[in-house]
Amino acid sequence: MSIDRYTISLSIILVSAFLSAPHVVRAEDASSQSYKILAPVVTSGGGYATSSSFSLFGVISEFAHNTSTSLTFGSNPGFAAYTTVSTPTVSATAGSGQVSLSWTAAQGFTGWTVGGYDVGQSTVSGGPYAYTAVGNVTSSTRSGLSNGSTYYFVIIPKDSFGNRIATSTQVSATPVAATSTTGPAVGGGGSISVSTTLPQVSASVILSGRAYPGSTVTILKDSVLQSRVPVQESADFTSTISNLQSGTYLFSVYAQDTNGNQSSTVTIPVTVVSGVTTSVNGIFLAPTIDVDKVQVKKGNPIRVFGQSSPESAITIAVNSDTELFFQTASDKYGVYSYSFLTAPLEIGDHSTHSNAAKSGEVSGSSRQIAFKVGSEDVLKGKMTDIKKSLRGDLNGDGRVNLIDFSIVAYWYKKKGFPAAYDLNNDKAITLIDFSIMASHWTG
């Protein structure tokens, strides 16, 4: 069946309508310290056409990375808007003839969203793996496994077209024969299952991953501090949480770098089973991030810095009307630092965040750090000044934890509260105040 002119007309109308929607990605001005691209047009060569009612752009395509380079600059098709996702953190819990897998959702960057996942399974460490598409979910139980045999799994996020974008760290588990049974169901039209009262054997969870050299990794269980792990030069960490009852726990992991800056938090739901040790591998903590100025004079440089895993590729994103991306690398101590000129940025509020990639793994996003572009430079205060203003620390003990939660919960929807507890200054204690507190949680 051929494509007639009506079809083409309709195609143009639909595509035009779609492209004129607010979320259309357009090429923006881009710059580095050595060159500038103004008013770029993303096109396959056909240019673009506009009228008062629609805009038709060419096909956005990247036929090669790093084309048109010289010693002083590189022009990348797509303007460095790389489609990357954070690699999932995976937990594996062995059962009888099965392994229950759960993983953190892969976080897309530059507006990209995960379309689904494949589970790779092998009896050999490192594969080859047999893949199963499990849909856009964050858990899967692999059954029909042999008790006593060790199985290895990886999780692969895919895009909307089914392309595999990343591969998680491998996790392993060895199914074991059941030592208990559930009580028989009563037959007939209805049934009630009565669980056998089993001797409860404590369970354990082993969490491991990458942080930063010299940092301290904090592990929370259901928002309550469990352990603090000093991290050595390798930046790898492992922590075992024992004496757990059966159930689903929310483990939160974050790091504090050598400057006292705190990373974003990785939160992993883990369902543990009595007597079974669950491994959670591949926790790749996002870099810490800071800036040297709270306000920068338009055109002057601002320095973005922080700490990550050693010798990682660091992508810095600047969120503004003109979205900018920069790439740099951390040194052997995990430290990264990058200065850029703020000439392309409008006067006003901006923010920046970063992520890290190493050995095929990609971290989630760092915290967002705000800065202003204005008429003069204003240097940022020392860390001690910042700690004093930790939002949500209502009792002033330097932490945001259950006591602060209890204080806000006490005043929730009540009147007469101290003004300092109204974190968004809307004259009421609502769940928004809890949300602000939760984003600064230290445990």
Restricted to residues 124-143, the positions that interact with another protein (CB under 8 A) are 137-139
Regarding 193 and contact with another protein (CB under 8 A), the answer is yes
Distance of closest approach, residue 433 Cβ to another protein, in angstroms? 7
Binding region for another protein (CB under 8 A) out of 118-126, 191-199, 201-209, 338-346: 191-199
Regarding 200 and contact with another protein (CB under 8 A), the answer is yes
In the bound state with another protein, the residue whose beta carbon lies nearer, of 66 and 425, is 425
What are 51's two structure tokens?
Answer: 């009228």
What are 86's two structure tokens?
Answer: 């954070």
Radius of gyration for the chain, computed over Cα atoms and rounded to the nearest angstrom: 26
DSSP reduced 3-state for 434: helix
List binders of another protein among 216-245 (CB under 8 A): 220, 222-224, 245
List binders of another protein among 257-296 (CB under 8 A): 264-265, 267, 269, 271
Give 383's DSSP letter. H
Regarding 246 and contact with another protein (CB under 8 A), the answer is yes
In the bound state with another protein, the residue whose beta carbon lies nearer, of 86 and 308, is 86
DSSP reduced 3-state for 303: strand
Binding region for another protein (CB under 8 A) out of 66-74, 92-100, 341-349, 411-419: 411-419
What are 16's two structure tokens?
Answer: 């035009």
One of 6, 70, 128, 419 touching another protein (CB under 8 A): 6
Distance of closest approach, residue 376 Cβ to another protein, in angstroms? 26
Amino acid symbol at 389:
S
Stretch (H or E) spanning 238: strand 236-244
Site size toward another protein (CB under 8 A) is 86
One of 38, 71, 192, 419 touching another protein (CB under 8 A): 192
Nearest of 387, 212, 375, 413 to residue 293 by alpha carbon? 375
Distance of closest approach, residue 69 Cβ to another protein, in angstroms? 25
Regarding 407 and contact with another protein (CB under 8 A), the answer is yes
Distance of closest approach, residue 370 Cβ to another protein, in angstroms? 9
Give the angle 28-29-34 at the CA atoms, nearest 5°.
145
- 365 exposed, middle or buried (CB, 10 Å; 0-12, 13-18, 19+)? middle
CA 280/CA 283 separation, integer angstroms? 8
Regarding 3 and contact with another protein (CB under 8 A), the answer is yes
In the bound state with another protein, the residue whose beta carbon lies nearer, of 332 and 413, is 413
List binders of another protein among 155-174 (CB under 8 A): 160
Q: CA distances (Å), 169 to each of 151, 225, 273, 359, 363, in order? A: 14, 26, 22, 10, 12
DSSP 191-208: -------PPP--EEEEEE
Regarding 148 and contact with another protein (CB under 8 A), the answer is no
CA 26/CA 19 separation, integer angstroms? 10
One of 67, 113, 143, 227 touching another protein (CB under 8 A): 113
In the bound state with another protein, the residue whose beta carbon lies nearer, of 110 and 337, is 110
What are 175's two structure tokens?
Answer: 């199914």
> Binding mask 24-43 vs another protein (x if CB under 8 A, - otherwise)?
xx------------------
β-bridge pairing 369-374 and 293-297: parallel
